[in-house]
Amino acid sequence: MKLKVKHANLVFRKVNKDLRKSQIIPEKDWTIFVGDNVEVVAGNIDYGKRGTVLQLHKKTNKVTVDGINQLTKHIKPNSEVPDGARYKTYAPIEYHCLNVVDNTVDQPTETSMYTFKDSISGKYKTTRISSVTGNFLPIPKQKGKFKGLKVGTLDTSEKLIRKVTYTQK
């Protein structure tokens, strides 16, 4: 005998969306960065595998990791691809399922952020601390969008950009 409940699923989904929005991790509490080596420590998807973080999805609390949660996408035959095609991509995985790998002991570890004042420069610096060893874990340097680009013939030269053409009276 089947029960006919019309709007129960819609109400349930709406409640879950509201809960997910309220559980977004604040940006200051993220301890995983692009370029980190991480290991999957929870969930059924690729448990125990390691990979490098490719992308952070901070609005959905998810992380895209190289080598984890791999999917095969299919392209239907069309005018550009007459035979169709398949390519592999990575789906995001939940943030709480990952831990950063501490390279000194080669184990996944929980991390916490620590802010201190540098005695030499006098500036405040933020680093991560491993909960397993207590060592500082460096934050990987972010690659800029325009680093490594070559100057082309149509680009404006740096001298022209820096030239002052207007002085305020």
Does residue 19 lie in a domain region? no
Task: Give the per-residue pLDDT at 11.
Answer: 37
The number of distinct structural domains making up the chain is: 1
Burial class, 29, CB count within 10 angstroms (exposed 0-12 / middle 13-18 / buried 19+): exposed
Q: Helix, strand or coil for residue 97?
A: helix
Q: What is the CATH number of the domain that holds 57?
A: 2.30.30.30
3-state SS of the chain: helix, strand, coil percent to 5? Answer: 15, 30, 55
Does residue 21 lie in a domain region? no
Angle at 69 between CA 83 and CA 57, to 5 degrees: 105
Rounded to whole angstroms, the Cα distance separating 32 from 26 reads: 13
Does residue 97 lie in a domain region? yes
Confidence of residue 66 (pLDDT cuts 50, 70, 90): very high
Task: Give the per-residue pLDDT at 34.
Answer: 92
Check whether 21 has a pLDDT greater than 60: no
Share of the chain above pLDDT 90, in %: 38
Does residue 12 lie in a domain region? no
Rounded to whole angstroms, the Cα distance separating 47 from 56 reads: 19
Task: Give the per-residue pLDDT at 22.
Answer: 55
